[in-house]
Amino acid sequence: MAGHSHWAGIKHKKALIDSKRGKLWSRLSKAIIIAAKIGGGDPDSNSRLRQAIADAKAVSMPKDNISRAVKKGTGEIAGGDVEEILYEGYGPNGVAVLCEVMTDNRNRTAPELRKLFEVHNGKLEKSNSVGYMFDRKGVFLIAKESNDEESLMEVALEAGAEDIQPVGENFEIISPPEKFSAVADALSNASIECVSRSINRIPNNTVDLDGDGTRKVLKFMDALDDHDDVQNVSANFNITPEVMEELDL
């Protein structure tokens, strides 16, 4: 199973815990601020904002929090000084890693991420060092147990998805980033629930990991994902079915 797919499932389980302590709300607030900052505060004409708000509502983020984040992004109230930065490097076992960050202080964030890479036997590299290994795509995971592949394919492809394939206990839908909102809306209108959905960077090639390597890489991915400024983590690792069974993943 490719790293982006397996990690998406793990992150979904983590999100259920994070949302209870408010950490996920902080992350989603930044996504709303950036979306409103770039495309304006009207979700009807700003698909990125519309999706960010939908993600926030999906984890019961209060309406007041959402409204406040939008206003920060449009400059109506203070607190919208947030920027997007992509950090690149290598983790354990030579795995290429991309960290999508939203921060109000890059002078704080960069050293903290560099330290995380070093602690986990990795190295933060300069811009464009590993980014060329990834393509930006919309990724949806849909549970197999409650969905029919043929019907799912009809809905997703009609909305602009590129590919659908079985991945473990889920179906994985891949879409161009510009079709992400259309596919998300089509799935919602068809009452198809997503295990997870996000715009990720999909690796062009992957590194197979053994059991020990998998433990180290997932520990590193978890540490990065726990950083308050990190919005999304992508990597080019692959966990084979044998290793998944060995580690009970």
Does the residue 246 lie in any domain? no
Q: Are residues 183 and 218 in the same domain?
A: no
Mean pLDDT of 44-61: 89
In this structure, the answer to whether residues 67 and 188 fall within a common structural domain is: no
Mean pLDDT, residues 2-26 taken together: 58
Do 142 and 153 touch, CB atoms closer than 8 A?
no
pLDDT at 222 over 50: yes
Which CATH number covers residue 31? Answer: 1.10.10.200
Considering its fold, how many domains does the chain have in total? 3
Non-local (6+) Cβ contacts of 7 within 8 A are: 218, 221, 233, 235
Q: What is the pLDDT of residues 54-99, one digit of tens each?
A: 888 888 889 999 999 999 999 999 988 999 999 999 999 999 999 9
Please give the pLDDT value at position 1: 44
Q: What is the mean pLDDT of residues 157-164?
A: 93
Q: Does residue 173 lie in a domain region?
A: yes
Percent of the chain with pLDDT over 70: 91
Higher pLDDT, 183 or 58: 183
Which CATH number is 157's domain given?
A: 3.30.70.980
Q: What are phi and psi of 136, to 5 degrees?
A: -80, 125
- Give the predicted TM-score (pTM) of the model: 0.80
**What is the span of the domain harbouring residue 221?**
83-132+204-241
Does residue 21 fall inside a structural domain? yes
Tokens of 116: 């995380």
pLDDT tops 70 at residue 7: no
